Structure 1
Amino acid sequence: MKAIIQQRDDIHQNLVWTEMLTAPKFSMKKMYMVVHDRSQIVVWITLFYGNVARPRALVNLWLACNERLDTRDRLNKYGLIDPTHCCFCNADETQQHLMFNCSETKGIWRKVLEWIQVDHNPLGCRHEMEWIIQQTKGKGGRAKILKLAFTESVYEIWRYRNDVSFGNAVQNQHTDGKIIDTIVYRGWTNRNLRTHLAKLMM
C-alpha cells in the first residue's frame, strides 16, 4: 500500500500528469513511460515472452534467473545445512555449477540440444543464460523451441537434483527423455511449432 500511495504522490507532482489533465485526450502509454523505471528491466525477461513451457517450469526459471534456487551454498549461508558439495560430484553446489558446469547436468542439457540439432558446449549458468538470450531473440519456431527446451531442462534438472539429494530412487537416463517428451507435448499444442517439432521427430 505504501508503494501505491508513493506512486500516486509522485504522479501528482509530475509535469506530464498536469499536461495530461489539460490535454484533449489522455495518453495512458505516455503516462506509463514516465512512471516506468527502465533501469529495472532485466535482459532475461525475453525468455518468458511466448514461452509455452509449464507454469511451474516458468516459475522455476524465474527463480534461477534471480539466482534464488535453494542450492547447498545458499542454504549454507543461512546456517540450514553444513555440507555444500554437489550431490553429483565433489564440487561446491552453486547455481553456476549445477546449471550446467556439473558433468552430470551438462550431459543432460547436451542430449536435449543434440535432439534439437543444436551444436553447443555448455559452460555454466551465467554463460548459458547469455547464450540462450542471444539465440532466442527472434520470433521463429527455433527460438521458441529453444526457450521451451531451456526452461524445461532447468526445471527437470532441479527436480532430478532434489530427488538425488533427498534419497529418492531416480535414473539419469530418463531425465533427458522426460524433457524431450515435455517439449513435444507442450510444443505440439502451439500450431506454429508443430512443423519444427515434426522435423525433429523424423
Structure 2
Amino acid sequence: MTDVQQMDNFHIKGLYQRLQGQFPKVEWRKLILNNQGAPKWKFIFRLAICDRLATRDRIARWGINTTPLCALCNICNETVEHLLFECEVSGSIWKKVLRWQTIPRGNMVWQREIQWVIRNYKGRSNGAAVYKVAMTATVYYVWQEKSENISIEGKISRCYTTGDHTRDLFSSKPNTKASSIREEVGLLPIIV
C-alpha cells in the first residue's frame, strides 16, 4: 500500500500493474488466447499444457489407490505425454488430424508438439486458426474418451445433459423445463 501512496500521479492502470505484479509471459499463451475453440476445450488444453490433468499416474502419486495404466490402451502408465501422443488410440487420431491438415510429419512428444505449433502457427492466418482449434478439440475429446472409459469401467452411467440445462438436471429444486427435456429425450440420470 505504501507504493500506491508514493505515486505522484494516480492512475488506475498504474495501480493495477503494481497490484498484479510483473510476471514473464509464457510462450504458449497465444495457443489459448487466439483460439476460437470452445471454452471447455481451451480449459482442458491449458491443463494439458501445464501438465495438470488428473491422469492415473498423477492420481497414484497423490497416494490414491488406482491402477496407473492408461484407460485407453491398458498397456503403459497414463501420463499426459502417453495419453495424448504415445497411446496407440490417441496416436492414430493425431495421424488423421495431421493428414487432414496436410502436415507431412509424424507424431511428436507433447512438449515438442507445443513448441512446433508455437513456431509454425504464429499469427492469425486461417491455417493457424484451424490447426489451433483442431489441436485443442483433439486434446479435449481424447480426454473425454478417457473419462468415458473410466466411467464405463467403474459402472457409473453417464447422465444426459443438454447445453445450459446441465445445472437444472441435477438441481434439487424441481424445474419443469428440465423435466420436460428429460421426458422428451426419454433419458433420466441413472446412478448405479
Q: Same fold (TM over 0.5)?
A: yes
Unaligned 5+ residue runs, structure 2? 154-192
2-structure distance, mates of 1:95, 1:45: 19
Distance in 1 between the 2:114 and 2:88 partners? 18
**Among residues 139, 151, 159, which one is paired with 1:166 in the alignment?**
151
**How many Å separate the matches in 1 of 2:109 and 2:74?**
15
| Alignment match, 2:8 | 19
1:69 is aligned with what amino acid? Answer: L
SS of corresponding position for 2:133: helix
**1:89 and 1:102 in contact (8 A); partners too:** no
2:23 partner amino acid: S
Map 1:26-175; keep pairs closer than 5 Å.
26=11, 28=13, 36-87=20-71, 88-167=73-152
Greater shift, 116-125 or 103-112, is seen at 116-125
How big is the alpha-carbon RMSD for the aligned residues of Structure 1 and Structure 2? 2.2
- Return the letter of the residue paired with 2:8: E
Deviation string 1:105-143 (CA, Å, 9 cap, x unpaired) is 111011012112122322222122212222221211111
Is residue 48–residue 58 contact of structure 1 (8 Å, CA) maintained in 2? yes
User: Shift in Å at residue 20 of structure 1?
Assistant: 2.2
The TM-score with structure 1 as length reference comes to 0.66
2: distance between equivalents of 1:115 and 1:81?
Answer: 40
Aligned-residue sequence identity (percent) comes to 27
Q: Structure 1 residue 49: deviation in Å?
A: 2.4
- Once residues 40 and 81 of structure 1 are traced to their aligned partners in structure 2, the CA distance between those partners, rounded to angstroms, is 38
Bigger helix share:
1
Q: Alignment length, in residue pairs? A: 152
Instruction: Mark the CA change 1:132 to 1:81 in structure 2 (over 3 Å): closer, same or farther.
Output: farther
After superposition, the Cα gap between the structure-2 partners of 1:38 and 1:100, relative to the gap in structure 1 and judged at 3 Å, is farther
